[in-house]
Amino acid sequence: MAMLVTGGAGFIGSNFIRRVLSADPKAWIVDLDLLTYAGTEENLKDLPDGQRHSFVRGDIGDRALLADLLRRHRIDTIVHFAAETHVDRSLADPSPFFRTNVMGTLALLEAARGYWIREKPFPLEAVRFHHISTDEVFGSLSPEDPPFSETSPYAPSSPYAASKAAADHLVRAYFRSYGLPVTITHCSNNYGPRQFPEKLVALTIANALRGEPIPVYGDGGQIRDWLYVEDHCEAVRAVLARGKPGAIYLIGGGNQLTNLSLVEKVCGLMDELLPKSVHRPHAKLISPFADRPGHDRRYALDGSKIQRELGWSSRETLDSGLRKTVKWYRANPAWMRAVLGNPGHREWIAAHYGRRGNR
């Protein structure tokens, strides 16, 4: 397997690369990442069997670069994680989301079509374009609604979700129009090691470690289904190995709870795991914050298809996954310092949390 992973210096991409290098001894990985504020080479330190990984700093929108990488490395598998990913940033400035998530995905699809379909270096059964999407493209559920399924209609709420929805439609169209062998997965909210501390779980841990306010938007009653990142990576490996071209799967963690309950749970775990912390009880740091505009109330996924067809289900419970996550952040202060010191992060935190203030 000669794999191009896009966004491999980010949170999920770097965890995926680690998993593939340790579990798939025949896999070679080319990792294309622009190293935006969200990507860091810190995430690629101490890779298992790292000589099978090569890093290229570049933009997925650079068509000449893509064509060259695919040919030079005889890429037969593309796993596409690269994206602008933070909903709040998309509300502040949607344009980068459309540049990378839509036009970047288009460039990647065109490169794959040019190499695999026009040049035909391999039989089409031997290649795969896997696109990582999100549950957010389906919009918001109310408490009594059934969970999303693979056939739920698209109803994105934020510019981020709209850009991911547009990308999904392109990927689907390349399957239908050109026969490009694609698969798509829609996962729920991931958490785990190496997540940038702008997303809820990582932000909660980072702020609790430093005794800073933990912002909870609105009434904190929004429900998400939390998925441990390594479970997600295993699901993507299962889809690459056994998913049929054109197939779509939902990947959920089976852990639905409100944001406030989640943050309280993380704080409780930190009290237990850091008994000498001067910031105990960490829950006293929880601070109500102005709500996100258009905030989706609830996401929930029906994960029965991937379980039935590919035999995948999540292994970690919320408790075991959060414990691993808190322990990882506590054990990696150098990573945390590097990431928190990133100017793109500092400016965002000041502008976003400074501007909207406490409720």
Partner whose binding site includes residue 82, from ligand NAD, ligand TYD, none (CB under 5 to 8 Å by kind): ligand NAD
* Residue of minimal Cβ distance to ligand NAD: 10
Give strand pairing partners of 217.
289
Does 208 bind ligand TYD (CB under 6 A)? Our answer is no
* Distance in Å, CB of 164 to ligand NAD, minimum: 6
- Residue 130 engages ligand TYD in binding (rule: CB under 6 A): no
Q: Is 135 a catalytic residue?
A: yes
- Residue 358 is classified by DSSP as B
Q: Give, to the nearest 10 degrees, the angle between helix 63-72 and helix 105-112.
A: 40
- Least separation, in Å, of the C-beta of 256 and ligand NAD? 15
Task: Give strand pairing partners of 79.
Answer: 5, 130
d(CA 277, CA 268): 12
Query: Is residue 206 involved in binding ligand TYD (CB under 6 A)?
Result: no
Q: Identify which range of 59-67, 141-149, 213-221, 335-343 contacts ligand TYD by CB under 6 A.
A: 213-221
Three-state secondary structure call for residue 140: coil
Residue 303, amino acid: G
Is 217 a residue of the active site? no
Give the residue, chosen from 217, 226, 249, 312, that forms a contact with ligand TYD under the rule CB under 6 A: 217
Name the DSSP class of 55: E
Closest CA to 345 of 107, 39, 87: 39
Positive or negative, the CA dihedral 236, 241, 245, 250 is: negative
- Altogether, the residues listed in the chain come to a count of 359
Q: Is 230 a catalytic residue?
A: no
> Cis omega (within 30 of 0) on the bond before 193?
no
Q: Is 133 in the site for ligand TYD (CB under 6 A)?
A: no
109: alpha, beta or left? (left if phi > 0; alpha if psi -120 to 50)? alpha
Can residue 339 be called a binding residue for ligand TYD (CB under 6 A)? no
Contacts of 359 (CB under 8 A, 6+ apart): 288, 289, 290, 291
Interaction of residue 215 with ligand TYD, rule CB under 6 A: yes
* Distance from C-alpha of 320 to C-alpha of 19, rounded to nearest angstrom: 19
Residue 143 and residue 298 in contact, taking contact as beta carbons nearer than 8 Å = yes
Cα(10)–Cα(36) distance, integer angstroms = 9
Q: Which of 33, 136, 168, 234 is the catalytic position?
A: 136
The residue within the footprint of ligand TYD, chosen from 222, 255, 256, 314 (CB under 6 A), is 222
Sites of contact with ligand NAD (CB under 6 A): 6-7, 9-13, 32-36, 38-39, 59-61, 81-85, 100, 104, 132, 134, 164, 187, 189-190, 196
- 112 vs 216, which CB is nearer to ligand TYD? 216
**How far is the C-alpha of 104 from the C-alpha of 60, rounded, in Å?**
5
> CA–CA separation, 128 vs 344, rounded Å?
34
Contact letters for ligand TYD, residues 247-286 (x by CB under 6 A)? ------------x---------------------------
Separation between Cα atoms, residue 267 and residue 13, nearest integer Å = 27
Asked if 188 interacts with ligand TYD (CB under 6 A), we say no
**Residues near 87 by beta carbon (within 8 Å), at least 6 away in sequence:** 136, 158, 160, 161, 292
The option from ligand TYD, ligand NAD, none interacting with 140 (CB < 5 to 8 A, set by class) reads none
Q: Which is nearer to ligand TYD, 189 or 255 (CB)?
A: 189
Residues from 282 through 321 that contact ligand TYD (CB under 6 A):
292
Q: What's the min distance (Å) between Cβ of 103 and ligand NAD?
A: 9
In the bound complex, what is the minimum distance in angstroms from residue 106's beta carbon to ligand TYD? 23
State in angstroms the smallest separation of the CB of 15 from ligand NAD: 8
Residues annotated as part of the active site:
135-136, 160
What are the residues binding ligand TYD (CB under 6 A)? 87, 189, 199-200, 203, 215-217, 222, 224, 259, 292
